[in-house]
Amino acid sequence: MTPRPVRVLTALLIATAAATVVVEVLNFWYAPDHGVSFAVRTAWALARTLGWLVLISQVRRARATAKPLGLILGMTTLFAVGRLIVPSAGRPPLPGLIGFGVLTLLCLTVVVLLYRHPTVDAHLTHQPRRPVLTRDGLSFREAPPGDPWVLTARLASFSFSPLMLVPALIAAGTLRHHLEWTLAVIFWILAGIAVSYVALMSAFFVGRGSHRARMTLTWVTLLVLAFHLPLCLILLGLDGLIRDGSPLVVAAGLTLYALRRSAHPPARATTSPASA
């Protein structure tokens, strides 16, 4: 039977997904301008709702990836919805602020339950039994536990691509005023797509303990920041840098921190034969 805290967490995840949609509908209703940037950001925020549904499935199936996925979803959802609430001019509407406050409380509660509740932690660290073909036939063995920091680095680096593509598509809608930046925007979009493949391959070999893959992912993270942030400032202004640069800075920081922690895992206590 599923433990009660896990059932409570699942209910909170459903409420968070629903609250995300409600806040986005409120933002759309009260927004004074429905331009290209607003449409792209709204579509991206709605797409994040699917991520909460995936997280619900991960929790129910006791996957260790639920922890980093919940952390990254909570972080990026608040950024994605928060930048929709603040208009380009004037004050944000009160219903949107109230909805964002409720969404913030839900996201924080979800992250605390995922990382701090012992029952949820025990549920998510349980390793499923996988089929293994042996000489005696098909048997089931417990899967080896994965490094949580490696999982965090993987998922955080996977978010680079959408976090780059959203402002790149917004910038593409403003090219009529910046034709000289057409090639830069095209390269921005292509780089956003290419980063997903590089991050995928690097993260795969990081999970295998490859030092070279860890260094590659570190340099890719730094290069993404060096390329993405100036373009946000030049083409989208200071407002775009805050709205679209900040989420990538947080995701990159989380990736670098996770890579550092995975490179220096905590020492495990061992029992000597003499003390046994």
Domain residue extents for the chain? 1-130, 146-265
DSSP 180: G
- Ramachandran bin of 266, using left for φ above 0, alpha for ψ from -120 to 50, beta for the remaining angles: beta
Tokens found for residue 111 = 């992250």
pLDDT for 274: 43
Identify which of 77, 103, 129, 139 has the alpha carbon closest to the alpha carbon of residue 15.
Answer: 103
d(CA 249, CA 228): 10
Written as one letter, the residue type at 207 is G
Confidence at residue 63, expressed as pLDDT on a 0 to 100 scale: 85
pLDDT of residue 222: 95
Q: How far is residue 145's CA from residue 230's CA, in Å, rounded to a whole number?
A: 40
Question: pLDDT at position 65, please?
Answer: 83
Contact 184, 231 (CB under 8 A): yes
pLDDT at 127: 52
The predicted structure's pLDDT at residue 176 = 77
- Distance (Å, rounded) from C-alpha 77 to C-alpha 187? 26
| CA distance linking residue 263 with residue 258, whole number of Å | 9
Instruction: Write down the pLDDT at residue 50.
Output: 84
Rounded to two decimals, what is the model's pTM?
A: 0.75
Res 226: pLDDT: 95
DSSP string of 74-86, one letter each residue: HHHHHHHHHHHHS
Residue 32: predicted pLDDT? 63
Q: What is the pLDDT of residue 92?
A: 72
Residues lower than pLDDT 70 in the chain: 30-38, 83-84, 86-90, 126-146, 264-276
How far is residue 262's CA from residue 266's CA, in Å, rounded to a whole number?
Answer: 9
